[in-house]
């Protein structure tokens, strides 16, 4: 017998699991994902905190980005619990093991007195400030919210961290952490543009905070006036979504890599040497990590100090902005990140080349015998800034 709407609904209900709103709340509290499949005008009236909004019409296309683990339970809700039944059936067809419809939907949730919130919207000032973002469909209001909610850690407020700080702040990245133990020196000012002449002697973290908030008071700057060590790296990194490596020494570079691999955080990497720079994005297990390329630091005699190496003051501006662009793309989920690719920039020839990078299946950090903590790893400082390709050749 051909199904009509009623029989289709009844039959579909027998095929999927339903829970009431109280059970749904408990599952959410235990970390289950909730997908709101209502239309935008419905969501504008209120949403369950933590829920991801994907309208029913885009569910098939977008669910795999929102809920990557198909073995985990996924709660679906609509206004009254009907559309979510069909949405759950769709997820079942897509291979999800445990799609669950919330009976009664958002209406029942509100009636039960459970927490809900109005969706975030930009203030009139933010609409003006970010208007050029709002005009781009790939960014838009949803993207600007992603930027405002993102937490990015800059390792070093130096040559690479400076341009990244300026532009990430201007773009509206809502939380920028800065870790640096140094004070501003007058020899920094040739390239470290987040600092100013009148701040020589001030801590770099404080100087960066002043500049970032002068550009954009929306940004919450978290200062870490300390050296990054294996004792504090995991704890500091765990408060951030993305790590930008603007460091100038190998010990820290390996430490950043290892901590990011352990925590599964993207590590946006840059380095500079005289007239040449390079940038890539390491995302553990999606591409190589730094140790896949260079399992061990070079011997000290092959790694010149910063003072010996020198750098064209303009070079870190280009490289730091490639890194900042990568960070913004990762936050927005758009474009092709530099995973498995390294951009090599030659300022004198004004050439960009691209190097394909491969994972090392036996990598000491992301391979099968990788350590599960930093405890046993030695990080010895062997100075700075020689780029990886100079080491490799």
Instruction: Return the number of the residue (146 or 291) whose C-beta is nearest Zn ion.
Output: 291
Closest distance between Zn ion and the C-beta of residue 291, in Å?
5
* 3-state secondary structure at position 364: coil
Q: Pick from 59, 67, 153, 292: which binds Zn ion (CB under 5 A)?
A: 292
**Cβ within 8 Å of residue 297, ≥6 positions away:** 250, 251, 254, 303, 380, 382
Q: b vs e for 258-284, b when ≥16 Cβ sit within 10 Å of the residue's Cβ?
A: bbbbbeebbbbbbbbbbebbbbbbbbb
Which residue is nearest to Zn ion, using beta carbons?
A: 363
- Given the residues 306, 363, 366, 384, the one annotated as active site: 306
Q: Around Cβ 57, how many Cβ atoms within 10 Å?
A: 10
Only one residue has tokens 């949403």, namely 47
Instruction: Return the number of the residue (89 or 291) whose C-beta is nearest Zn ion.
Output: 291
Q: Classify residue 293 by burial, with Cβ atoms within 10 Å: 0-12, 13-18, 19+.
A: buried
Instruction: Return the number of the residue (347 or 370) whose C-beta is nearest Zn ion.
Output: 370
Instruction: Return the number of the residue (180 or 258) whose C-beta is nearest Zn ion.
Output: 258
Closest distance between Zn ion and the C-beta of residue 269, in Å?
13
Q: Is residue 293 involved in binding Zn ion (CB under 5 A)?
A: no
**Cβ within 8 Å of residue 242, ≥6 positions away:** 150, 151, 152, 153, 265, 266, 268, 327, 330, 331
Instruction: Return the number of the residue (200 or 370) whose C-beta is nearest Zn ion.
Output: 370
C-alpha span between 182 and 226 (Å, rounded)? 8
In the annotation, is 78 catalytic?
A: no
Only one residue has tokens 């390079």, namely 278
- Count interface residues toward Zn ion (CB under 5 A): 6
Closest distance between Zn ion and the C-beta of residue 363, in Å?
3
Closest distance between Zn ion and the C-beta of residue 21, in Å?
45
Please report, as residue ranges, which positions from 231 to 250 form the binding site for Zn ion (by CB under 5 A).
Answer: none
Q: Pick from 59, 147, 289, 322: which binds Zn ion (CB under 5 A)?
A: 289
Closest distance between Zn ion and the C-beta of residue 360, in Å?
6
DSSP secondary structure letters along 137-204: TTTHHHHHHHHHH-EEEEE-SSTTHHHHHHHHHHHT-SEEEEE---B--GGGTTT-TTS-GGGTTSBH
Instruction: Return the number of the residue (184 or 256) whose C-beta is nearest Zn ion.
Output: 256
Please report, as residue ranges, which positions from 135 to 194 form the binding site for Zn ion (by CB under 5 A).
Answer: none
DSSP state of 61: H
Please report, as residue ranges, which positions from 35 to 94 form the binding site for Zn ion (by CB under 5 A).
Answer: none
The closest of 86, 74, 79 to 109, measured between CA atoms, is: 79
Sole window of 31-39, 181-189, 281-289, 299-307 interacting with Zn ion (rule: CB under 5 A): 281-289
Q: Give me the 335-374 binding string for Zn ion, x by CB under 5 A, dash otherwise.
A: ----------------------------x-xx--------
Closest distance between Zn ion and the C-beta of residue 281, in Å?
14
Q: Pick from 25, 191, 204, 291: which binds Zn ion (CB under 5 A)?
A: 291
**Cβ within 8 Å of residue 380, ≥6 positions away:** 251, 297
Residues carrying an active site annotation: 306
Which chain residues interact with Zn ion by CB under 5 A? 289, 291-292, 363, 365-366
């Amino acid at each position: 017998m051909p199904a009509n709407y009623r029989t289709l609904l009844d039959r579909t209900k027998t095929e999927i699991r339903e829970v009431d709103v109280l059970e749904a709340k408990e599952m959410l509290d235990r970390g289950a994902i909730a997908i709101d499949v209502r239309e935008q005008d419905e969501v504008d009236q209120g949403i369950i905190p933590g829920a991801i909004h994907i309208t029913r019409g885009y569910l098939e296309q977008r669910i795999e980005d929102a809920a990557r683990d198909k073995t985990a339970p996924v709660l679906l809700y609509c206004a009254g619990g009907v559309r979510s039944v069909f949405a759950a059936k769709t997820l079942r067809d897509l291979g999800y093991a445990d799609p669950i419809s919330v009976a009664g939907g958002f209406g029942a949730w509100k009636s039960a007195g459970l927490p809900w919130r109005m969706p975030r919207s930009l203030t009139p000032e933010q609409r003006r400030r970010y208007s050029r973002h709002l005009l781009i469909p790939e960014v838009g209001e949803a993207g600007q919210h992603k930027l405002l909610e993102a937490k990015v850690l800059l390792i070093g407020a130096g040559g690479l961290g400076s341009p990244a700080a300026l532009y990430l702040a201007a773009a509206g990245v809502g939380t920028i952490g800065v870790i640096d133990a140094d004070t501003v020196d007058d020899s920094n000012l040739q390239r470290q543009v987040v600092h100013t002449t009148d701040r020589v002697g001030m801590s770099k973290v404080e100087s960066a905070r002043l500049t970032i908030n002068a550009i954009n008071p929306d940004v919450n700057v978290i200062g870490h006036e300390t050296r990054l060590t294996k004792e504090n790296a995991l704890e500091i990194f765990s408060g951030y979504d993305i790590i930008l490596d603007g460091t100038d020494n190998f010990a820290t570079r390996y430490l950043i890599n290892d901590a990011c691999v352990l925590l599964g955080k993207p590590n946006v990497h840059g380095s500079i040497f005289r007239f040449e720079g390079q940038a890539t994005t390491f995302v553990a297990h999606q591409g190589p990590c730094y140790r896949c390329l260079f399992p061990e630091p070079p011997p000290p005699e092959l790694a010149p100090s910063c003072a010996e190496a020198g750098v064209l003051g303009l070079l870190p501006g280009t490289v730091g902005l490639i890194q900042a662009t990568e960070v913004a793309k990762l936050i927005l989920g758009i474009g092709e990140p530099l995973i498995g690719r390294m951009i090599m920039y030659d300022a004198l020839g004004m050439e960009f080349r691209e190097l394909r990078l491969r994972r090392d299946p036996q990598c000491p950090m992301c391979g099968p015998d990788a350590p599960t903590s930093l405890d046993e790893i030695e990080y010895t400082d062997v100075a700075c800034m020689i780029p990886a390709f100079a080491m490799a050749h």
